[in-house]
């Protein structure tokens, strides 16, 4: 085993000297040593991740001088009986380059309080960003004529990097190893080093390179280029022979310091959520010991907004009850509430305020205050509905109307009332519809759709594609084509010219036979909640084409923005319960994206784990729809008169653990499930129910198998769903687990594509050992709207046993009637007396 080599340069070397050297050598370590060395973790529990698709955000931090003291009336009071220094970890207390005492004026202490200890203005941070975190889960492959590419990675603006190291892992084709090639690395246009691509650098070893910290900024471009002295660029059709892949485990390790920025509401959502952070963001939310449902409603609104901003990045919402977050956090409550050592400041109405964290003023606390449910909702809505004013740390909120959304009007869902152009869809994610050069990436057009879209068998979705290939005489037009796929499923190859005998003759006579438009008939079953159309212009050069064109990006291939997809012939109709709709698009709660048709239900005394899970579910809804849950209603526990409560005449999302037996028994009453000794079971259907199921064609339910699996499983978490006993037109979805520890694992489970794909039916059980198991236990019911004649046909198609029995009965009645009439007619003809 090779021993790790020391760093190549001491930090006493200046950045100018490093750059003047042109390149930095690489240090090779063995794969075993790399695997044995634990990945660097962050000392403050935060991570970093990319900017993209977040819409209009408030302005970036302005790095203002320390905020002057605020009036005592607006300042939250701190309980000085609890020592502040005890909450600072040894890491936080470590000596830093700048040990200037902190301005503690925002926190007003009592007169007899002892002076606060000196706390450094900066905190150490560390992160390790992999190529997978940078948006390349399969790594980055250089092949054929595309021998240069790069990856963008970003860092939060309030961090300063003091040390950086690149760990490079590669996989190289055997044909490329046999050539004299090197891999050139660059960061932000500056060379980092060269690596010979040989057998020793293929697959097993990890190469480490010290990166000058001054080269790492907020937005960075890490690029790779294969340099071949044997002019591999001129070899055509070798993309499957010569290639090198930068593996997704390749990473850049960063160490730095978190700066103490000013208390400025204009920075929101920073520093609580930074869109430049590439790894999972953790936004801590804190509540008082006198927690009320309106506090959680307000927090769910803010969580859904931050989930919307996170887009493809992961975000998590840890919850602290009656204590202050150790770092940045958002606090909800009414004036006078006490959260840990902090008493929320007085306020005549709804207000928003940002203060230094009493535990460590490097971090900030955002206070969302209101004296009642309406005021808290007003404060939260003001926070998420418009940019906050700059250069202020407190904002009184004026009363405003919170609009209610209509069904299926989520901003991220494709419009089903008209054809939608690909230009509209691409503009949402700022994706270009033009490809440059011969070798290029696919053109992606993502779109999301309501999961309950329904079309009758035989109907298709028209996708009109207008496209143009380059018009160059060196292009082999007979073999070039446009590949079209959706969600990884190949649809069709579109040719450059029209295909046919007459078209071929006309083209040879000099006529125009270009095919620049085509309509694909898309089967409805290929449309999911989250979709991605992909286009690739597979341009083939002729054998005598010059080598220079292989690397030229002067040629353009384009998809016309007026191309469209038309879902206007579809209907919103489906059968519930169906958990796959819930995990994919938060349906049916997201039908009205602001949750005005939903209820969030928690146990009478919710734990931090219950609220944590609920906030994560709200964030998933905001991410799926692009709309905050501004009308979410939260209820603690169940009462006897809830059947008359109008709040329960809606879809219900409940969060609970199996330990809340009394609450669960009320919740699962009149459902296919039951609670026995803190264990979930499935009720055994009666013989009459089995007979009715057989008559209605419901042969795929598995209540016995599900009950056996539950009885043999110890620790688990998952989802159950059933028809609501309070409103038969709605459903109840319950996120549950055997305990809080299991319940909190649901967040990580839903990051897995395999688990998401495996959740279906009305019971989904997830374990650490077996993964996901799903069952169909209860009876489904139809929901949505279709023309009456289609409903008749649909009912007949799904209840063919009853239809068959009715057909047999009608046939018997008609047959017997005809037999009697014919018998009488025969008797009369023969002169006999008809039998009665």
pLDDT over threshold 90, residue 9: no
Please list the residues that pair with 653 across neighbouring strands: 600, 733
Residue 22 burial (CB count, 10 A): 10
Q: What is the pLDDT of residue 234?
A: 62
Are the CB atoms for 163 and 285 separated by under 8 Å? Answer: no
pLDDT over threshold 90, residue 600: yes
Q: How far apart are CA 343 and CA 79, in angstroms?
A: 7
Are the CB atoms for 261 and 279 separated by under 8 Å? Answer: no
Q: What is the pLDDT of residues 762-773, one digit of tens each?
A: 999 999 999 999
Are the CB atoms for 334 and 86 separated by under 8 Å? Answer: no
Determine which helix (DSSP H) or strand (DSSP E) holds 750, and give its type and residue range.
Answer: none
Q: What is the pLDDT of residue 344?
A: 94
Longest dimension (CA), the chain: 127
Q: What is the pLDDT of residues 802-818, one digit of tens each?
A: 788 888 999 999 999 99
pLDDT over threshold 80, residue 228: no
**Is the four-CA dihedral 347, 350, 354, 360 of positive or negative sign?**
positive
Provide the pLDDT confidence category of residue 122 given band limits of 50, 70 and 90. Answer: low
pLDDT over threshold 80, residue 507: no
Provide the pLDDT confidence category of residue 828 given band limits of 50, 70 and 90. Answer: confident
Please compute the mean of the pLDDT values over residues 265-276 and round it to a whole number: 93
Q: What is the pLDDT of residues 357-378, one digit of tens each?
A: 999 999 999 999 999 999 999 9
In the three-class reduction of DSSP (H, G, I as helix; E, B as strand; rest coil), residue 257 is classed as strand
Please compute the mean of the pLDDT values over residues 596-610 and round it to a whole number: 95
Please list the residues that pair with 676 across neighbouring strands: 679
Please compute the mean of the pLDDT values over residues 139-152 and round it to a whole number: 83
Start-end of H helices in 458-512: 501-508
Q: What is the pLDDT of residue 515?
A: 85
Q: What percent of the chain has pLDDT over 70?
A: 82
* 616, HSE (Cβ side, Cα atoms, 13 Å): 27
User: CA torsion 64→65→66→71, rounded to 10°?
Assistant: -80
Are the CB atoms for 769 and 743 separated by under 8 Å? Answer: no
Q: What is the pLDDT of residues 713-725, one digit of tens each?
A: 999 999 999 999 9
Are the CB atoms for 287 and 322 separated by under 8 Å? Answer: yes
pLDDT over threshold 60, residue 424: yes
Please list the residues that pair with 140 across neighbouring strands: 246
Provide the pLDDT confidence category of residue 204 given band limits of 50, 70 and 90. Answer: low
Please compute the mean of the pLDDT values over residues 695-702 and round it to a whole number: 78
Q: What is the pLDDT of residue 21?
A: 35
Are the CB atoms for 528 and 442 separated by under 8 Å? Answer: no
Provide the pLDDT confidence category of residue 24 given band limits of 50, 70 and 90. Answer: very low
In this structure, of 144-148, 685-689, 724-728, 749-753, the range with the lowest mean pLDDT score is 144-148
Q: What is the mean pLDDT of the chain?
A: 82
* Nearest partner of 637 among 658, 615, 660, judged by Cα: 660
Higher-pLDDT residue of 501, 750: 750
Q: What is the DSSP pairing of strand 219-228 with strand 206-211?
A: unpaired
Q: What percent of the chain has pLDDT over 90?
A: 54
Please compute the mean of the pLDDT values over residues 653-668 and round it to a whole number: 94
Q: 594-620 burial, b for 16+ CB within 10 Å, e for fewer?
A: bbbbbbbbbbeebbbbbbbbbbbbbbb
Q: What is the pLDDT of residue 42?
A: 38
pLDDT over threshold 60, residue 112: no
Number of residues written out for the chain: 836
pLDDT over threshold 60, residue 28: no
Q: How far apart are CA 3 and CA 42, in angstroms?
A: 25
pLDDT over threshold 90, residue 688: no
Higher-pLDDT residue of 672, 201: 672
pLDDT over threshold 80, residue 492: yes
Are the CB atoms for 801 and 694 separated by under 8 Å? Answer: yes
Provide the pLDDT confidence category of residue 75 given band limits of 50, 70 and 90. Answer: very low
Q: How far apart are CA 224 and CA 2, in angstroms?
A: 26
Q: Outline where DSSP puts E strands in 20-156.
A: 27-29, 77-78, 123-130, 140-143, 148-154
Higher-pLDDT residue of 403, 640: 403
pLDDT over threshold 80, residue 503: no
Higher-pLDDT residue of 636, 472: 636
Q: What is the pLDDT of residue 807?
A: 86
């Amino acid at each position: 085993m090779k021993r790790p080599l020391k760093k190549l340069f001491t930090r006493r070397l200046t950045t100018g000297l490093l750059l003047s050297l042109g390149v930095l050598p690489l240090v090779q370590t063995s794969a075993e040593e790399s695997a044995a060395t634990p990945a660097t973790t962050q000392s403050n529990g935060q991570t970093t991740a990319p900017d993209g698709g977040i819409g209009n955000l408030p302005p970036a931090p302005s790095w203002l001088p320390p905020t002057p003291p605020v009036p005592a009336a607006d300042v939250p009071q701190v309980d000085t009986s609890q020592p502040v220094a005890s909450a600072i970890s040894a890491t936080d207390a470590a000596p830093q380059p700048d040990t200037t005492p902190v301005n503690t004026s925002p926190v007003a202490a009592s007169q007899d309080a002892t002076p606060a200890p000196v706390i450094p203005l900066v905190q150490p941070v560390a992160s390790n960003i992999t190529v997978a975190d940078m948006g390349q889960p399969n790594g980055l492959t250089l092949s054929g004529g595309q021998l240069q590419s790069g990856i963008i990675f970003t860092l939060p603006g309030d961090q300063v990097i003091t040390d950086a190291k690149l760990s490079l892992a590669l996989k190289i084709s055997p044909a490329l190893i046999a050539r004299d090639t090197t891999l050139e690395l660059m960061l932000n246009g500056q060379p980092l080093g060269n690596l010979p691509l040989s057998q020793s650098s293929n697959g097993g070893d990890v190469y480490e390179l010290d990166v000058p910290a001054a080269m790492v900024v907020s937005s960075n471009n890490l690029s790779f280029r294969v340099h071949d002295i044997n002019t591999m660029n001129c070899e055509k059709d070798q993309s499957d022979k010569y290639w090198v892949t930068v593996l997704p485990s390749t990473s850049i390790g960063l160490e730095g310091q978190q700066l103490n920025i000013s208390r400025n509401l204009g920075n929101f959502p920073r520093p609580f959520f930074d869109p430049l952070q590439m790894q999972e963001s953790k936004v801590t939310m804190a509540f008082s010991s006198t927690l009320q449902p309106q506090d959680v409603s307000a927090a769910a609104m803010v969580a859904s907004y931050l989930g919307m901003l996170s887009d493809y990045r992961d975000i998590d919402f840890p919850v602290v009850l009656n204590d202050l977050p150790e770092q940045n956090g958002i606090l909800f409550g009414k004036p006078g509430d006490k959260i840990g050592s902090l008493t929320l400041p007085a306020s005549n109405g709804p207000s928003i305020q940002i203060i230094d964290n009493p535990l460590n003023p490097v971090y900030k606390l955002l206070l969302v205050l209101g004296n009642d449910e309406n005021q808290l909702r007003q404060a939260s809505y003001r926070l998420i509905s418009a940019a906050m004013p700059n250069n202020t740390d407190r904002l009184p909120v004026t009363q405003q109307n919170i609009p209610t959304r209509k069904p299926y009007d989520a901003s991220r869902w494709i419009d089903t009332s008209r054809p939608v152009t690909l230009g509209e869809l691409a503009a949402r994610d700022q994706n270009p519809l033009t490809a440059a050069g011969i070798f290029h990436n696919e053109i992606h057009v993502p779109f999301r759709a309501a999961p309950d879209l329904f079309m009758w068998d035989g109907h298709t979705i028209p996708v009109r594609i207008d496209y143009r290939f380059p018009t160059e005489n060196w292009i082999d037009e007979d073999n070039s084509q446009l590949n079209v796929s959706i969600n990884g499923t190949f649809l069709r190859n579109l040719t450059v010219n029209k295909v046919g005998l007459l078209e071929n003759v006309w083209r040879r006579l000099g006529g125009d036979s270009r095919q620049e438009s085509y309509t694909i008939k898309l089967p409805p079953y290929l449309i999911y909640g989250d979709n991605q159309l992909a286009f690739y212009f597979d341009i083939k050069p002729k054998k005598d084409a010059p080598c220079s064109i292989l690397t030229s990006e002067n040629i353009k291939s384009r998809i016309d923005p007026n191309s469209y997809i038309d879902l206007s012939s579809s209907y919103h109709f489906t059968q519930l319960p169906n958990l796959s709709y819930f995990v994919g698009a938060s349906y049916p709660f997201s039908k009205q994206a602001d949750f005005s048709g939903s209820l969030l239900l928690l146990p009478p005394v919710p734990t931090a784990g219950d609220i944590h899970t609920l906030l994560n579910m709200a964030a998933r809804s905001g991410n799926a729809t692009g709309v905050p849950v501004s009308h979410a209603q939260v209820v603690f526990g169940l009462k006897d008169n809830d059947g008359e409560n109008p709040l329960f005449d809606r879809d219900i999302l409940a969060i609970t653990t199996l330990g809340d037996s009394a609450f669960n028994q009320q919740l699962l009453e009149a459902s296919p499930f039951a609670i026995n000794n803190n264990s979930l079971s499935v009720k055994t259907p009666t013989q009459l129910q089995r007979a009715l199921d057989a008559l209605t064609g419901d042969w795929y339910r598995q209540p016995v198998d599900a009950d056996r699996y539950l009885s043999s499983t110890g620790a688990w978490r998952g989802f159950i769903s059933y028809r609501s006993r309070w409103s038969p037109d709605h459903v109840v979805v319950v996120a549950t687990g055997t305990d809080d520890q299991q319940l909190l694992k649901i967040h990580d489970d839903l990051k897995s594509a395999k688990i998401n794909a495996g959740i279906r039916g009305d019971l989904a059980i997830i374990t650490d050992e077996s993964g996901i198991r799903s069952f169909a236990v209860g009876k489904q019911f139809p929901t949505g709207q279709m023309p009456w004649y289609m409903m008749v046909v649909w009912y007949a198609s799904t209840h063919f046993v009853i239809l068959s029995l009715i057909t047999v009965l009608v046939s018997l009645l008609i047959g017997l009637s005809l037999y009697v009439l014919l018998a009488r007619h025969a008797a009369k003809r023969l002169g006999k007396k008809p039998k009665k």
